[in-house]
Structure 1
Amino acid sequence: MASKTSKIFVWIILALVIVGLVGFGSQNFGGSVRSIGTIGDTEIEANRYFQELNSSLNAFRAQTGQQLPIAQAEAFGLTAQALQRVIDSTTLDNEAARIGLSVGDDTLRRQVMRMQEFQAADGKFNSETYEFVLQQSNLTPAEFEENLRADMTRAVLQTAITRAASTAPVFADTLYAFAREKRDFTWAKLDLSALEATPPAPTDADLQTYYEENPADYTLPEIKKVTVAWLRPEALLDAVDVDEADIRALYDSRAAQYNQPERRLVERLVFASEDEARAAMDAITSGEKDFPALVAERGLTLSDVDLGDVTKSGLGDAGDAIFALTEPGIVGPVPSLLGPAIFRMNAVLAAQSTPFEDVKDELRAEFAGDMARRAVADRITELEDDMAGGATLEDLTQNRGEIDLIKFDWQAGMDDGIAAYDEFQTAIAETGEGDFPEIITLDDGGLFALRVDQIDPPRLQDLDEVKDAVTAAWTHDKRLELLAEQARGLLPILQQGDESLSSLGLTEIAETGQTRDAVIDGTPPEMVVDVFSMQENDWAVLEDVDGVVLVHLDRIFPADQTGEEAVAAKAAFTQQINQEIGLDYQSAFTRALQADAGITLDQAVITAIHRQFP
C-alpha cells in the first residue's frame, strides 16, 4: 500500500513538472511551416510565436477569469506584443550567432542539473526523470538543450548590455537632496481691505485689452436645447398595491436583523497547551502582565485576536464562562476550536428585538419602491414599440401623466434634476442634434429618453454684453497690483529688522520643516514653490486671488544624505533607475540590430497561427 501511494505521489509531482515545462514545447503550432519570417540569417520560429501568444492568452485568463477571443486579443494589442517579444528574442539569437557567442557544454550541463524539475526526492539530478519529463513535453533532450542553450546565450548578451547601465552616486544624491530638503518660513496675509490707494477708473483701451487677454472668461459654453421624457418610480407609487402578507414575509426574511440575541464583544488568545494558557492567566491574575502584553509577546496585535460581537452559541464550549460575566473581564483557560484560550470580554450587548409594527411602514415603502421599479421596467418594451412606430417624446407623455416632459438648456457642469444622473451625463455627451431618442434606464430604477433639439456652439460675448464684468475684473486686478506695490514698500523696514509682521498688525504664521510637496491653507498654490527658490533671510511678496502674502525664509535644512533611511532610499532608487535604463539600453540595442539585420514577416503564417485559437 505504501509503495502504491508513493508511486501516485511521484506521478502527481511529475504532472506538475510537465505543466511547468509547457513553454519548452508541450503545446505546439500544428502547421507544417517552421517560421513566420526571418531576422538576418535567423528564422523566427512559428512554434515560438504560437507558444508566446498562448502564454499571453493564458495569463489574461488567469488574471481576469475570462477566455479572450483572438479577435479581441488583436484589438487589445496582445498579439502584437507577443510577436514583438518573439522578434526581439530572435534578434538577440541572430546577433549571438553572428558574433559566435554561445555558452559551453559544461555550463549547460550544470544548469540542467540544477533545475529542480529534473531532481529526485534527494535533491539530486535524475536522468530517468529528465528523459520522462521531456518525453511528456514532446521534446527530445537535444531539442530541450538547444532551447536552453539559446536562452542562456541570450541572457549573457542581455547582461552585457544592461550591466553598463549604472548612474553615478551624485545622481541619486542630487535628487534626494532636492526631494528631502526642508525649510522654515514665516508668512502673513495682507488682504484687499488694507489697500491704501484708490484704483483709477479704467479707460476704454484698458477694458478692450483686458477683454482680449481673457477671452475664456467671457465665452459662453456650448448649449444643448434638450427635451427629456422622464419616468420615475415615485410616479407609480400610488398605483402600487402592497399586500400585508408580502410585508410580513419581508420582515421574516430579515429576522436576524430585527431580532438579535444577546452578544459579547470578545477577544481570544489561543495557546499551544493548557499549561501555557494557565501560566498566562496566572500572570494576569497576579498583575504581572495584562492581556495586551500577552498578545504583543506572541507577535500579534489586538485586531488579530478580535472576534467582534459573538453570540453564546458562537463561542462553543467557552460560551457559558464568557456569558457568566456581567461586566468586562477575562476568563480562562477555556477550550476553543483552536485549543486552550484566554478570552477578554469587553462589552455586553443586550438582545434587541424590533417588533413588526415598528418597521411596517418602512418595509411597506421599500416593497412599494421595488414594485414601482419593476413596473417601470415593464414599460420599456411598450415605450420602445411606440417610439419605433413614430411616437415623439411629446406623444409618449400625452396620455401618460406619470411621465414628465422636460425642456431645458443643458451645458457642461449642470448636476441637478435629471442632469444629476451619470447615465444622463453619458447620454447627453454622446447625443447630437437629430439623433433618434432611445430608452435609457437609470440606476434608481427610472428611465428617460432624450432628444437634442438644437446645439448652440461656444460663443465669445461682445464686449458691450460683458462690459460690467470686465470692468469689475480689471478693477480687482488693479487693486491687487496696487496692494502688491504697497506690500513691497514694507520690505526695506522688514529686511532691516525695524519692524516685524506682527508689529505691522499682521497675523504672523510660522511654518517649520516644510517640504516641497507641502500644501499651506490660505496661501497661493505656488507659494511653496516660490519659497524653495528663495535664499535664507530673503523676503518676497506673492499675489493671491484676494490679497497678497508677505513671506520670509527663516532657515534651510539640507537633506541628511548619510542616515539609514537616506542610504536605503537612494539605494532602492538607484537600483530601480538602473533597471529602467538597462531596459532602455536593451531596447535601443535590439532596435539597432533589427534595422541592421532586416526583418521579413510572413503575414499568412501569422494569420494561420491566429486561427488555431478560438
Structure 2
Amino acid sequence: MATKKRTSPFVWAGFILIAGGLMITGGLGLSGTVRNVGKVGDKTVTALEYQGAMQQGLQQMRQMFGNTLTFAQFQQMGGEAMAREQLVQERALENEASRIGLSVGDLYVARQIQQISAFQGLTGGFSLETYRAALRQVGLAERQFEDAQRDAIASGLLSSAIAGDLTMPAIYAETLARFRGERRVITWAAVTAANVTTDIPAPTEEDLQAYHDSHPDVFTTPETRRVTYAALTPEMAAETIEVSEDEIRALYDQRIDSYIVPERRIVDRLTFNNDADATAALARIQSGEITFTDLANEMGFSLEEIDQGEMTEAALGEGGAAVFAAATGDTVGPVPSRFGPVLYRVNVDLAAEETPYDAVRDTLRNELAASRAGRVIAQEKASLTDLVAGGAQIEDIVNLSDLRSGTLDWQEGNTEGMAAYEPFRAAIAAAEIGAFPAIVDLPDGGIFVLRLDEIVPPRVQTLDEMRAYAEVMWRFQATQDAVATEAARLAEAVEGGATFEELGLTATTEPALTRSDVVAGTPYGTMTTAFTLDSGDVTTLSDQGTVVILRLDSIATADESNATYTADRDALAQTLNNSLAGDVMQAYGGAVRATTSVSFNETAVSSINTGL
C-alpha cells in the first residue's frame, strides 16, 4: 500500500514553480522565444518564474479584496511592484549563497525533488516519468529545474544560518504574558432615561436656536452637483435586441446536460495493487475492524484525495451498477479499473434533476441579447465619437442615438442608479461647468456622456426649515445630559457605600476578565477603563447613548501555574522569536539586495503582464 511522505520546506520553491507553470502557460499565450526576463547578480529570472510570482501575488491580493480583482487593478495597488521585489530579494539571497560558495550536492537535491508531490506516480512514490512529463509541460529542462532547486536549498541554508536560532530573552514573553493574564472583577449597571426623576421641559425658542447655532454640521446640506447625462448600458441595449424563439431553444439544447442531470452518487474511491488486497480490505470494513476513512488514512490518503465527487452510473464504468444499487454508506467492490481493483464508498444519493425550458427561457433570452449588446454599444460609440467631436450637446446625442437621457442631483456617497458605477461618480466629481461632453466607458461595456449644469454649494439650513428636526435632536441631547447627570449622582452614592439595588439599579457582576474581554451592554473600552482603576473605585462611562456605572471589585494577577497562561507565554515566545528572525532576515536581505545588481527586460515583462 502507498505511503505518503512529508515534504521538506526547502522544496516548496520548486513545487510552486511547477504548479505556477502548469496553471499559467495554458492561458497566457507567452511566446517561447523569451526564456529569461531579468537578472539579479549572476542569477537569471525566467519568464515562468516571473509569471508565477505575479500569479501568486495576484491570488494573495484576491483573497483580501475578492476574486474579481483584475491584474490591472493589482498593478494600480502596487501588487506587481511588491511581487517583483519579493522575487528579486529571493534571487539576491540565492546569488549571495553562490557568491560565498554555499551549495549542496546532487544527491541531496535529488532527495528533495523526490519528495515533491507533483512528481509522485500512482503508487504514491516518486515517478521519473511523471517528473519529466511535468517539466516538459512547462518547458523546463531537468538541469534548469534542478539548478533552481539547488539555489533555493542553498538560500534556505543561508537564511537558517543567519536567523535560524535567534531567540528573544525569556523575560520578554513572560512580562507580556503576565500583562495579558491579569484579571479584573467588575460590577456595572446601566443608567437610562427611566432612572431620571426630573422632568425635561419643552425647549424654548432660545434653546432651539442655541442648539442650531452650536451644531451647524448637523443642519448643513452637502454640495450637490446637478448633471444631465446620456448613457447606454448592456442592460439598456439588450432590451432593444430581438432574439428569436429558435435561438433561445437552440441555446437550451446546447446546454441540455446542465438542465437535464441524470441520477448521481457522490463516492470515495480506494485503488489497490491486486484483487487479494482489495478483497481483504473489504472484509476488514464489513467486519467492523476498520472504517473506510481509517483505511484511507492507513494507506496514506486524505479524504480530499479519495473524493471522486458526483458520478453518473456511466462514468463509474464497470462499477456503476453495483454503486447505484448500494445504499448510502455502503462499501462496494472490488471493481476492476484501468488503475487496478477499487473499492467505492457511497456517500450521497443525488436524484435526477430536470429544469424545463419555460423555467429558463427568459434568462437565456436575456443572455443572448446581452451577448449582442456589446456590438450595439460599439456601433453607437463609433457614431457618438463623431457627434461629440462635432460639439453635440446631450440633448442632440439622445435625439440622434439610442443613448437614454437622465438628470441627477448628485451628492458624495450617492450610489443609486447610474451613480452605482464608479467611473460615473468619478466623472461627476471631476466635471466642470461649460466643459464639452466626453465619452466614458463603463466596466460592464456600457458608455455615457454627461454635462455638469450647476454646483449647489453646502448650506446651513435655517432653524425654521429644520425646526421639527432641531426639536427632536434637542430633546435627545437634553435626555442624554440628564442621564449623565443622574449617573454621576448615583455613582457618587455607590462610592459612598450604597448598593446598586438600593438605588434601583440592576447590577451585573462579571467574572474575572482580561484586558481584551468585551462586556456586552457596556460602552466600548470598558475593560480598558477597568484596568486603570484601583479596587473599590467607581466611575461612569458613556458611548453612543449608553451610560453605565462601573465599579472595580478586585484585582487578580496572572496565574502562572495555569495551563492557559503557559500556552499563551509559549505562543508569545514563538511569535517574538519569529518576529526577531524576520527582522534580522529583512535587514540582511536588504543589505544583500542593495549590493546586488538588478536588471529586467521591460519589453518582455510588459508582454507577460499584458497576458495576465
Superposed, which structure 2 residues align to 1:356-505 within 5 Å? 356-400=357-401, 403-459=403-459, 469=469, 472-491=472-491, 499-500=499-500, 504=504
Shift of 1:437: 2.5
Superposed, which structure 2 residues align to 1:572-583 within 5 Å? 572-579=574-581, 582=584
Instruction: Tell me if 1:544 matches 2:534.
Output: no
Distance 1:519 1:177 in 2: 19
2:190 counterpart letter in structure 1? K
Please state whether the residue corresponding to 1:197 is helix, strand or coil.
coil
CA-to-aligned-CA distance 1:230-284 (integer Å, 9 cap, x gap): 2344545564221232112211221210121221121234455544443442233
1:573 counterpart letter in structure 2? T
Distance 1:201 1:469 in 2: 14
C-alpha contact 2:331 2:343 (8 A) present in aligned 1: yes
Shifted more, 220-229 versus 439-448: the winner is 439-448
2:225 counterpart letter in structure 1? K
- Name the counterpart of 2:10: none
Distance 1:62 1:238 in 2: 43
Structure 2 CA distance for partners of 1:348 and 1:164, relative to 1, 3 Å: closer
Please state whether the residue corresponding to 2:326 is helix, strand or coil.
coil
CA-to-aligned-CA distance 1:178-222 (integer Å, 9 cap, x gap): 445555655443333443223466788877776676554344323
2:448 counterpart letter in structure 1? F
- Name the counterpart of 1:189: 190
- Name the counterpart of 2:103: 115
- Name the counterpart of 2:227: 226
Please state whether the residue corresponding to 1:198 is helix, strand or coil.
coil
Distance 1:365 1:491 in 2: 66
CA-to-aligned-CA distance 1:528-579 (integer Å, 9 cap, x gap): 4334434555544221323412344566665565755234322223323434
1:419 counterpart letter in structure 2? A
C-alpha contact 2:238 2:373 (8 A) present in aligned 1: yes
C-alpha contact 2:170 2:573 (8 A) present in aligned 1: no
Shift of 1:176: 3.4
Q: 2:573 aligns with which of 571, 587, 612?
A: 571
Shift of 1:322: 0.6
C-alpha contact 2:226 2:455 (8 A) present in aligned 1: yes
TM-score, length of structure 1 as denominator length: 0.64
2:525 counterpart letter in structure 1? E
Shifted more, 456-465 versus 407-416: the winner is 456-465
- Name the counterpart of 1:347: 348
Instruction: Give unpaired runs (5+ residues) of structure 2.
Output: 1-13, 15-37, 59-70, 112-142, 145-153, 605-612
1:342 counterpart letter in structure 2? L
Structure 2 CA distance for partners of 1:487 and 1:571, relative to 1, 3 Å: same
Distance 1:269 1:76 in 2: 43
Structure 2 CA distance for partners of 1:305 and 1:399, relative to 1, 3 Å: same
2:544 counterpart letter in structure 1? V
- Name the counterpart of 1:291: 292
Shift of 1:118: 8.3
Distance 1:492 1:311 in 2: 76
Shift of 1:382: 1.4
Shift of 1:415: 1.9
Structure 2 CA distance for partners of 1:486 and 1:304, relative to 1, 3 Å: farther
CA-to-aligned-CA distance 1:560-600 (integer Å, 9 cap, x gap): 6575523432222332343466579879999xxx9xxxx9x
C-alpha contact 1:163 1:582 (8 A) present in aligned 2: no
Distance 1:212 1:326 in 2: 77
- Name the counterpart of 1:5: none
C-alpha contact 1:188 1:501 (8 A) present in aligned 2: no
Distance 2:45 2:352 in 1: 56
Structure 2 CA distance for partners of 1:301 and 1:558, relative to 1, 3 Å: farther
Shift of 1:450: 2.0
1:527 counterpart letter in structure 2? T
Structure 2 CA distance for partners of 1:316 and 1:529, relative to 1, 3 Å: farther
1:314 counterpart letter in structure 2? A
C-alpha contact 2:221 2:460 (8 A) present in aligned 1: yes
CA-to-aligned-CA distance 1:42-62 (integer Å, 9 cap, x gap): xxxxxxx97449868976555
C-alpha contact 2:266 2:308 (8 A) present in aligned 1: yes
Structure 2 CA distance for partners of 1:323 and 1:414, relative to 1, 3 Å: same
Shifted more, 525-534 versus 51-60: the winner is 51-60
Superposed, which structure 2 residues align to 1:2-81 within 5 Å? 51-52=40-41, 60=50, 62-64=52-54
Please state whether the residue corresponding to 1:489 is helix, strand or coil.
helix
2:573 counterpart letter in structure 1? A
Superposed, which structure 2 residues align to 1:110-149 within 5 Å? 112=101, 115-116=103-104
2:436 counterpart letter in structure 1? F
Please state whether the residue corresponding to 2:315 is helix, strand or coil.
helix
Distance 1:489 1:538 in 2: 15
1:408 counterpart letter in structure 2? L
Distance 2:355 2:79 in 1: 56
Distance 1:586 1:494 in 2: 59
C-alpha contact 1:228 1:406 (8 A) present in aligned 2: yes
- Name the counterpart of 2:199: 198
Structure 2 CA distance for partners of 1:583 and 1:254, relative to 1, 3 Å: closer
C-alpha contact 1:164 1:582 (8 A) present in aligned 2: no
Shift of 1:311: 0.9
Please state whether the residue corresponding to 1:344 is helix, strand or coil.
strand
C-alpha contact 1:435 1:451 (8 A) present in aligned 2: yes
Alignment RMSD (CA, Å) = 5.3
Structure 2 CA distance for partners of 1:170 and 1:324, relative to 1, 3 Å: same
Please state whether the residue corresponding to 1:490 is helix, strand or coil.
helix
Distance 2:382 2:602 in 1: 42
Distance 1:496 1:345 in 2: 72
- Name the counterpart of 1:105: none
C-alpha contact 1:437 1:450 (8 A) present in aligned 2: yes
Distance 1:459 1:546 in 2: 28
Please state whether the residue corresponding to 2:199 is helix, strand or coil.
coil
C-alpha contact 1:264 1:309 (8 A) present in aligned 2: yes
- Name the counterpart of 2:525: 526
- Name the counterpart of 2:243: 242
CA-to-aligned-CA distance 1:58-116 (integer Å, 9 cap, x gap): 76555127999xxx9x99989x989x99xx99xxx9xxxxxxxxxxxxxx99x75x732
TM-score, length of structure 2 as denominator length: 0.64
Distance 1:343 1:316 in 2: 12
CA-to-aligned-CA distance 1:127-167 (integer Å, 9 cap, x gap): xxxxxxxxx99xxxxxxxxxxxxx99xx99x97xx999975
Distance 1:179 1:270 in 2: 52
C-alpha contact 1:228 1:393 (8 A) present in aligned 2: yes
1:255 counterpart letter in structure 2? I
C-alpha contact 1:202 1:471 (8 A) present in aligned 2: yes
Superposed, which structure 2 residues align to 1:285-324 within 5 Å? 285-295=286-296, 297=298, 302-324=303-325
Distance 2:570 2:246 in 1: 68
Distance 2:424 2:263 in 1: 47
- Residue-pair matches, total: 499
- Name the counterpart of 1:217: 218
1:524 counterpart letter in structure 2? P
Structure 2 CA distance for partners of 1:367 and 1:567, relative to 1, 3 Å: same
- Name the counterpart of 1:253: 254
